[in-house]
Amino acid sequence: MAVNNRNGRRVAVLLATLAGLTLAGCSSSEPASKATATTAASQGVMTTVGVTLKEFSLTAVPASGPAGSVTFAVQNSGLIPHELLVVKSDLRPDQLPQVDQKRVDETKVQVLGEVAEFDAGKKQELTLTLQPGKYVLLCNVVSHYISGMYTAFEVTASK
Ligand SMILES: [Cu+2]
């Protein structure tokens, strides 16, 4: 045990030294945020889903993930502003209740989270704790949903 402890300490000191060198050599905050992510990951299931918005499609990769913390990294790759709604629904992604056939009726579906309309070329993040079930990701800017900006997302039981 004594040997293990000594090795463990040496590794810790080495990592601290490397972190110091990295920080000294680069003003980016990236090393710090990576360390934070690693710590959080050991405390529960975390999934990152890349969501791409454009005229007129919405894609999610991967299209499913385990229950727990899900971060949607949302990129507006289009030419105009878009938004992201995360809706929990067993309905088909193209069958959600609508208002005047122009947008989803947000009073008739369960909206768990939203990235408000944001500009083309920008990125946003949304982290939610999701239970197992079926979800629909969509953009609810007027006419965007009926133009094809939706996709299915599934959350499976975490193992
Ligand atoms: Cu849109």
For 73-105, what is each residue's pLDDT tens digit? Answer: 999 999 999 999 999 999 999 999 999 888 999
Are 60 and 137 a contacting pair, CB within 8 Å? Answer: yes
Res 45: pLDDT: 85
CA of 4 to the centre of ligand 1 (A): 55
Same structural domain for residues 34 and 59? no
Res 33: pLDDT: 44
Nearest Cα to Cα of residue 108 among 91, 118, 92, 96: 96
CA of 52 to the centre of ligand 1 (A): 10
Same structural domain for residues 112 and 61? yes
CA of 122 to the centre of ligand 1 (A): 13
Domain extent for 22: 2-38
Same structural domain for residues 108 and 90? yes
CA of 131 to the centre of ligand 1 (A): 26
Specify the pTM.
Answer: 0.73
Same structural domain for residues 27 and 75? no
Res 42: pLDDT: 45
CA of 137 to the centre of ligand 1 (A): 11
* Distance linking the first and last C-alpha atoms of the chain: 32
For residue 64, the Cα-to-chain-centroid distance in whole angstroms is: 11
Distances from the Cα of 24 to the Cαs of 10, 17, 18, 116, 136, in angstroms? 21, 10, 10, 37, 44
The stretches of the chain forming alpha helices (DSSP H) are: 2-25, 30-41
Res 122: pLDDT: 98
Same structural domain for residues 9 and 53? no
CA of 139 to the centre of ligand 1 (A): 5
Same structural domain for residues 28 and 72? no
CA of 130 to the centre of ligand 1 (A): 23
Q: How many domains does the chain have?
A: 2
Res 101: pLDDT: 86
Cα–Cα distance between 133 and 51 in angstroms, integer? Answer: 19
pLDDT < 50: residue spans in the chain: 1-42
